[in-house]
Amino acid sequence: MFALPLTDAAQLRPLEPWQAQEFLAHIDRARPLVDPWIPWATFSTDLGSATATLQRYADRLAADGGRIHGIWLDGTLVGGVMFTRFDSAAGTCEIGCWLEPAGQGKGLATRACRALVDWAFAERGMSRVEWWVAPGNVRSVEVARRLGMTREGVLRQRSTYRGVRRDSEVWSVLAEEWPPPADLPGVGYKAGIDRLMRDLFGAFTTTGGRRPDLDVIRRVFLPQGLIIKNIGDDPLVYDIEAFIASREKMLTDGTLTEFSEAEVTERTEMFGSVAQRFSDYRKSGFLYGEWFEGAGHKTVQFVRTPDGWRISSLAWDDEPAADIPAAIPTDEPAPGEPAAEE
């Protein structure tokens, strides 16, 4: 069966009529969140009606007029994404998504939508992907923003749901506005940011005789990028070259040896051509010959350039119990200050 990985634990797969029982159980869990916004959740109340909902999408798929996919997390159906309309002759389609509570907060809906939008543009040659949403559906609006869509306007009292006239916001993204394929490795262009972060953390590694590769800093940052150490009372702000010079010295003169750090959790938010990431990381090594272990947090801002994603700024802090911050001793002098005498 076709399956597209969204994360190590999540997959995007077709959702078909034979899965109606699983779909119904999922909709029952999702109903409090989905019911106010998606009419077919109201209609999928038993096995027969759930089967009918999936059959309608199977019929649309056969006519190339729509399709529906489920999002599975650790083997459990937690949400989905669909083309509610797909008009290849006109070159336009409409996309939507939903999640139950267990699937929220992990970026799954955005990644799944991004995969379908990329397919619509790259494989089917569509010109325009639309997103129709009730103004009060805040979560859906935020997904449209993260996909880089433009809000085009509001159709007032466009439809009736449960006897109430409702407005519809119209969002869209055009083929020429979508990131180029070079920025879309794997599932979506978040993969480019993941790659930058792996390279950044690996640049400082000196375990097993490995030398640090600080040229990576120049490759992953904008030339005008800033790096900010925010430990203690006064933030310490570096430009790229000052940061590289200070790191290179301590990682090669014996001050900091057998050092490594790694990202352990992350949360990434994307808004068209800009993004931000909050990372938790751990580190270890020998500082002045004494073994240490620690942990901390980074916040990183990105911009998309013609050459792909680049970091515009980074700031970090350490947990109080840590002995030193990432690759930077706590007693490090500010640029231009002498080190304290022993």
The answer on pLDDT for 338 being more than 70 is no
Selected residue with higher pLDDT from 269 and 77? 77
Residue 136: the pLDDT is 81
Per-residue pLDDT of 286-297, as tens digits, reads: 999 999 998 999
What single DSSP character describes residue 2?
-
d(CA 108, CA 103): 7
**Which H helix or E strand runs over 267?**
strand 256-271
Contact 312, 222 (CB under 8 A): yes
d(CA 115, CA 185): 11
DSSP lists the bridge partners of residue 287 as 256, 290
> Residue range 133-157: average pLDDT?
87
Q: Which of 87, 91, 70, 82 is nearest to 27 (CA)?
A: 70
How many other C-beta atoms can be found within 10 angstroms of the C-beta atom of residue 16? 17
Position 321 confidence tier, pLDDT thresholds 50, 70, 90? low
Residue 148: the pLDDT is 84
Average pLDDT over the chain, rounded to an integer = 85
Per-residue pLDDT of 73-93, as tens digits, reads: 999 999 999 999 999 999 999
> Residue range 98-118: average pLDDT?
91
Contact 228, 318 (CB under 8 A): no
How many other C-beta atoms can be found within 10 angstroms of the C-beta atom of residue 306? 7
Helix, coil or strand: residue 92: strand
User: What is the residue whose two structure tokens read 């083997």?
Assistant: 75
Position 304 confidence tier, pLDDT thresholds 50, 70, 90? confident
Per-residue pLDDT of 196-222, as tens digits, reads: 898 899 899 999 888 888 988 998 999
> Residue range 149-156: average pLDDT?
89
Q: In the CATH hierarchy, which top-level class contains the domain 4-178?
A: alpha beta
The answer on pLDDT for 1 being more than 90 is no
d(CA 102, CA 121): 30
Give percent of the chain above pLDDT 90.
Answer: 49
Q: Which of 98, 121, 113 is nearest to 37 (CA)?
A: 98
Phi, psi for 89 (deg, rounded to 5): -65, -40
CATH architecture group of domain 190-318: Roll (3.10)
Residue 234: the pLDDT is 82
Does residue 162 come out as left (phi exceeding 0), alpha (psi in the -120 to 50 range) or beta? left
Q: Which stretches of the chain are DSSP H helices?
A: 20-34, 39-43, 47-62, 108-122, 138-146, 190-202, 215-220, 240-252
Residue 307: the pLDDT is 67
Per-residue pLDDT of 21-55, as tens digits, reads: 999 999 999 988 887 777 767 788 999 999 999 99
Ranked by mean pLDDT, the top range of 85-94, 243-252, 253-262 is: 85-94
Selected residue with higher pLDDT from 75 and 326? 75
Give the domain ranges of the chain. 4-178, 190-318
